[in-house]
Amino acid sequence: MDLIQQALPEFLVGARNTLIYCVSAFPLALLLGLILALMSSSRIIWLRGPARIFIEIIRSTPFIVQLFILYYAVGAVLLTVKLETLDNAWSAGIAILAINYSAYEAEVFRAGFLSVDRGQTEAALSLGLTSFQNFFRIVLPQAIPLMIPPFVNDFIYMLKDSAIVSVISGTELTAVLNTWVTHHGSNPIPLYTLAIVLYLLLSLPISYVARYFERRLRAAL
């Protein structure tokens, strides 16, 4: 229908913005998650305590609440110290996606590290490797194949949670959808269908990639 044809360019731009949000936030989430995972398996409780508390709080509060707290409350605080450049929807959206998902990635990392046999670490230490070398050369290479399927699944979840960023942003696919629905209220169903099709086009190929990795992992085990 011509409504879909009218809306298609803007919707495609919105889908591109969604992808930009997620592709920017996911590596940050992985990096933060790795740091959090290392902190929460430390012997020093000054690292372990705050890391565990942070992970528990992030996992127990809704995403939209964290988004609003970051954008409005932290934004207000940033205004008082003259850092308004950080107070826009792009920074807040990418930041909150990265912070929220770093808590989940930290749990995946920790599970991956625990799944590597302790004997490997003991052998490495008895052969004279430092803890640092042990981690990066022995444990992490064995843990990474196990962690790839959960990471890809988390990327799919992030694609879907990026829709919530639309409440503060105007450039995301759901935000574009909302503006079009309020303008063309008499016939909203084709617009929703278009948005759903675009989200499916974004997420289904990645879920096939996830299943490919899972199959390879199961064959290798």
Residue 154 makes contact with other proteins by CB under 8 A: no
Residue 95 makes contact with other proteins by CB under 8 A: no
Residue 13 makes contact with other proteins by CB under 8 A: no
Q: What is the chain's Cα-based Rg?
A: 21
Spatial neighbors of 8 by CB under 8 A, at least 6 apart, are 194
Q: Which member of 128, 185, 218, 220 binds other proteins (CB under 8 A)?
A: 185
| Residue among 56 and 84 whose Cβ is closer to other proteins | 56
Residue 41 makes contact with other proteins by CB under 8 A: no
Q: Report residue 47 as tokens.
A: 């690292």
Residue 199 makes contact with other proteins by CB under 8 A: yes
What is the spatial distance between Cα 221 and Cα 212, in angstroms, rounded to a whole number? 14
Q: Report residue 174 as tokens.
A: 């759901």
- Pick the piece of the chain touching other proteins (CB under 8 A) from 31-39, 57-65, 103-111, 126-134: 57-65
String of DSSP letters for 120-189: HHHHHHHTT--HHHIIIIIIHHHHHHHHHHHHHHHHHHHHHHGGGGGGT-SSSHHHHHHHHHHHTTT--H
- CA-CA-CA-CA torsion for 21, 22, 27, 30, nearest 10 degrees? 130
Residue 189 makes contact with other proteins by CB under 8 A: yes
- Pick the piece of the chain touching other proteins (CB under 8 A) from 90-98, 108-116, 127-135, 154-162: 154-162
Residue 43 makes contact with other proteins by CB under 8 A: yes
What is the spatial distance between Cα 70 and Cα 66, in angstroms, rounded to a whole number? 6
Residue 44 makes contact with other proteins by CB under 8 A: yes
Residue 49 makes contact with other proteins by CB under 8 A: yes
Give the count of alpha carbons within 13 A of 32, CB side only: 18
Q: Report residue 208 as tokens.
A: 């096939």
Residue 213 makes contact with other proteins by CB under 8 A: no
Residue 80 makes contact with other proteins by CB under 8 A: yes
Smallest gap from Cβ 204 to other proteins, in A, equals: 6
Q: Which residues bind other proteins (CB under 8 A)?
A: 43-46, 49, 56-57, 59-65, 68-69, 72-73, 76-77, 80, 156, 159-164, 166-167, 174, 177-178, 181, 185, 188-189, 192, 195-196, 199-200, 203-204, 207
